[in-house]
Amino acid sequence: MLVRIRPGAQLTGAERELVECLRDYPSTGLALVDCQVGDRRLGAVIVTPRGITVLEVRGFRRRQSGLLTVATDGSWKISDSPLDLEDESTNALTDQVEHGVHAVRVALEQALQEGKHVCGAVILVPYRGVVVRPARTTLRPGLDVLVANTVDAHELRVYLEGFSAAPREWTVDRVINTCTALGVGEVPSRAELAEEGFAANRPAPTPVAPQVRPVRKVSAPPPPVDPSRRGKLVGVAVFVAALIGVFVVFLVVGMALLQESPKTRPMSDTSQTTSTTRAPVLGPSTTSAPVTPRKTACWPFQTDC
């Protein structure tokens, strides 16, 4: 990694230890140590082809080893003992990292550059030979705590590879523009950045082969029925129904007339018919009253009347 230290910077022992770790880092990157952004001093700003991270570096006052824990109330401990760091408390250190990330984003946006790929971390540098675990703790999204020194810089390298796992968008020109936006006095040359591994141009996106889907043949819907034609059909149907109704009425009346016949007259009418046969002649010993002839009722068209 290419390292640039601000001229006249007075580095602490922990910061000098970090510089040695970064110079041994095998991947592409630019480290701006003791960077001054506006009125805020930052421990280091690291630019990789995939993003930017802001680091705050702190060393220990004494040899402390054990398990590093970060409580929800903001207290940091190593094996139940308060963390004894240089300069300031851990609560102020967290706020300082967040303010540093914000300052870098604002500087980039004022220079009309995108500032969303910026994160931050606190680097704790213990004494050599001292083991502190876990070596990485996440405070909140985009803000981590790392433990690294020249003896064991594995977690620092994992972090630098992890936060920069994004599309390669920082080219040589963009790195130079970033250094100018952050107010870096000694900007690396294009040749140095190209030799470090930064690309001259942003790589073109990989074309994606279009997926060919079979075309389904959709049958065309039938044409809509003409409203005038539909009205004519309805009228014809009503007329036919009316004719059928009239025919049924005439059929019922005709059947009723055919069933009305003289043979089906009531018996009371036939009883009124008077027979024309003469009464038998009685003998001399027999007396009878004279027979009075009765009128015969005749029906129309009756032959024997």
pLDDT of residue 22: 93
Strand, coil or helix: 271:
helix
User: Token digits for 50?
Assistant: 């995939």
Report d(CA 162, CA 160) in Å as an integer.
Answer: 5
- 160 in Cβ contact with 137 (< 8 Å): no
User: pLDDT of the chain along its 305 residues, tens only?
Assistant: 999 999 888 899 999 999 999 999 988 999 999 999 988 899 999 999 988 999 999 999 888 888 888 876 677 888 888 888 887 666 678 888 999 999 999 999 998 888 778 999 999 999 988 888 887 888 878 888 999 988 888 989 988 888 766 677 889 999 999 999 998 888 899 999 999 999 987 655 556 666 666 666 666 666 665 656 666 777 788 888 888 888 888 888 888 888 765 554 444 444 444 444 444 444 444 444 455 555 556 655 556 65
pLDDT of residue 42: 92
- 305 in Cβ contact with 296 (< 8 Å): yes
pLDDT of residue 45: 95
pLDDT of residue 296: 59
pLDDT of residue 285: 46
Report d(CA 118, CA 142) in Å as an integer.
Answer: 8
- The side-by-side arrangement of strands in the sheet containing 118-125 is 2-5, 30-37, 40-48, 51-59, 118-125, 143-147, 136-140
- The side-by-side arrangement of strands in the sheet containing 76-78 is 81-82, 76-78, 66-70, 132-133
Q: Where are the alpha helices (DSSP H) in 42-120?
A: 90-110
User: Token digits for 67?
Assistant: 């398990």
Report d(CA 119, CA 104) in Å as an integer.
Answer: 10
Question: With 0-12 CB in 10 A as exposed, 13-18 as middle and 19+ as buried, what is 98?
Answer: middle
pLDDT of residue 290: 54
Nearest to 57 by CA among 92, 86, 95: 86
Report d(CA 87, CA 208) in Å as an integer.
Answer: 53
pLDDT of residue 30: 95
User: Token digits for 77?
Assistant: 């401990």
Nearest to 27 by CA among 157, 165, 138: 157
pLDDT of residue 226: 60
pLDDT of residue 246: 84
Distances (CA, A) of 84 to 7, 17, 130, 136: 30, 18, 14, 18
Angle in degrees, CA 289, 294, 300, rounded to 5? 165
- 32 in Cβ contact with 2 (< 8 Å): no
